[in-house]
A and B are shown apart, each in its own frame.
Chain A
């Protein structure tokens, strides 16, 4: 079975400073990993995904994530936060066979002016 742990339920940064949202995963095989973003009262949107190609994955809106197998981590980063980045972020790990994706509990990113 797979699982995912988002280490921070809430992260607050100032506009223009770096963003780091942490995610650890557990899986008995080589998983696919995703980050999704949910803006208030909206559905989720894919930011980026890792599927065993390059370990550094670039996504939309300047976000990127690095897959580190030795640390079982898939942290999300962005060099400079923008006010529009304020949202809920979900780290997600894939299942096998007919299992669906497993979502983390979410990290709420707050961006201060």
Chain B
């Protein structure tokens, strides 16, 4: 049983399209995150939700919109995709809030052509 699962694992799309990445965790954690990893492996927090409430919203373009239908799911929708959005997006969850262990999904590699 995968603890944090993301779909799709790979996504190739054209500029200007809209796409979504889904994330689900079966660990019973209260907090979920989206991280972006660029081509140099640098990881940056994008969003954090605690019990469906948006907690962290870093300087991310409005084209990115997270949605948490319940505390086990955190989806990421991206409008009007740009070349610079190409990256690996990781979903993660934690129980101890902001200082506890993060459990990561395997990532979703987005390529914008």
User: Residues of A at under 8 Å CB distance from B?
Assistant: 32, 34, 36, 38, 41-46, 49, 51, 88, 90, 94-95, 97-101, 103, 105-106, 108
Contact = CB atoms under 8 A, between A and B. Distances in A.
B45 A100 contact: yes
Interface of B: 4, 33, 40-45, 48, 55-56, 90, 92, 98-99, 101-102, 104-107
A94 B48 CA distance: 14
Contacts of A95: 98-99
A69 to B, nearest CB: 18
A32 B90 CA distance: 22
Given A44-B104, A106-B42, A100 B90 contact: no
Most interface-central of B41, B56, B92 (chain A CB within 10 A):
B41
B58 to A, nearest CB: 8
Contacts, number: 57
B106 A41 contact: yes
15 contacts: A32-B99, A44-B43, A44-B90, A44-B104, A46-B102, A95-B99, A98-B56, A99-B56, A99-B98, A100-B48, A101-B102, A105-B41, A105-B42, A106-B43, A108-B41
B106 A42 contact: yes
Contacts of B107: 41-43
Which 3 pairs show the lowest CB-CB distances between chains A and B?
Answer: A43-B104, A94-B99, A103-B43
Nearest to B105: A43
B104 A88 contact: no
A103 B101 CA distance: 13
Contacts of A46: 101-102
